[in-house]
Chains A and B, each alone.
Chain A
Amino acid sequence: MIFHFPIKLCKRAELVTAAALLALVFCAQRTFAQDLEDPQLLHPPADSWPLYHGDYSGRRHSPLTQITPQNVGSLSLAWAFQTNQGAEIKSSPLLVDGILYFTVPDNVWAVDARSGHMIWHYNRPSTQGDHIGHRGVAMYRGWLYFTTPDCHLISLDAKDGKVRWDKLIADVNKGYWTTMAPLVVHGHVIVGVSGDFDNLPGYLRSFDPETGETQWQWNATPPAGTPNATTGGMTWMTGTYDPELDLVYWGTGNPTPVLNGATRPGVDLYTCSIVAIHPEDGKLAWGFSVSPHDTHDWDAVETPVLVDGEFDGQPRKLLMQASRNGYFFVLDRTNGKDLLTVPYGPVNWTLGVDGEGHPIPNPAKEPAPDGRLIAPDEGGLTNYRAPSFDPKTGLFIVDAHPSWSIYFAKPADGTYGWAGADYGLWGKGVIEAIDYKTGKLRWTHEVGPGGSGAGVMTTDSGLTITGDAHGNVLALDTATGKTLWHAGMGVAMQSSPITYELDGRQYIVTSGGGVLFVWALPEGRL
Chain B
Amino acid sequence: MKCFRILVLTAACAAGWAALQVIDKPVDAAQQSGSAGGETSAPAEASAASDPGATEYAKHCAICHGAERQGDLPGFPPLIGIGHQMSAQQIAGIIHSGKGRMPAFPSLQGTELAALLHYLATSEAGARPTERSQSPGPVEAGDALFHQNCAFCHGRDAMGGETGPDLTQSKIVLSDKTGEKIAAVVREGRPDNKMPAFSFSSQEMASLVAFIHARVKAAAEHPGGRRGVSVADLQTGSVDAGKAYFNGAGGCSKCHSASGDLAGIARRFEGLQLEQEMLYPRSARSTVTVTVASGEKISGTLAYRDEFTIGLRDGQGVYRSWPASRVRFTVDSPVDAHVEQFGKYTDEDIHNLMAYLQTLR
Contacts and interface: CB of A to CB of B under 8 A. Distances in A.
Nearest to A18: B16
Given A22-B16, A418-B225, A370 B162 contact: no
Interface residues of A, number: 59
B308 A123 contact: no
A370 B238 CA distance: 13
A406 to B, nearest CB: 7
Interface stretch (A2-10, A286-294, A336-344): A2-10
Contact of A22 (B13, B101, B227, B343): B13
Interface residues of B, number: 50
B224 A198 contact: yes
Contacts of A375: 342-343
Contacts of B192: none
A1 B6 CA distance: 18
B229 A408 contact: yes
Given A32-B6, A86-B162, A426 B229 contact: no
11 contacts: A3-B15, A125-B73, A125-B76, A127-B73, A371-B234, A373-B347, A404-B280, A413-B227, A421-B228, A425-B279, A426-B279
Contacts of B41: none
Contact of B342 (A1, A127, A346): A346
A131 B339 CA distance: 33
B347 A371 contact: yes
Q: Across chains A and B, which 6 residue pairs bring their CB atoms closest together, nearest first?
A: A417-B224, A416-B223, A125-B75, A470-B306, A3-B15, A370-B236
Interface stretch (A23-31, A308-316, A385-393): A23-31
Interface in B59-103: 72-76, 100-101
B308 A373 contact: no
Given A7-B20, A18-B16, A425-B280, A29 B74 contact: no
A420 B227 contact: yes
A26 B10 CA distance: 7
Nearest to B336: A426
B227 A421 contact: yes
Contacts of B101: 84-85
Given A25-B9, A426-B338, 8 more contacts: A4-B19, A26-B13, A198-B224, A346-B343, A373-B347, A412-B227, A418-B226, A472-B307
A348 B234 CA distance: 21
B30 interface: no
B27 interface: no
B350 A373 contact: yes
Which of B11, B13, B343 has the most chain A CB atoms closer than 10 A to its own CB?
B13
Interface string B199-225: 000000000000000000000000111
Interface of B: 3, 6, 9-13, 15-17, 19-20, 23, 72-76, 100-101, 162-163, 223-229, 233-237, 272, 275-276, 279-280, 306-308, 338-339, 342-343, 345, 347, 350-351
Contacts of A346: 342-343
A87 B342 CA distance: 34
A486 interface: yes
Contacts of B233: 369-371, 408, 410
Contacts of B75: 106, 123, 125
Interface in A301-342: none
Contacts of B351: 370-371
Contacts of A26: 10, 13
A422 B189 CA distance: 29
A8 B13 contact: no
A40 interface: no
A373 B342 contact: yes
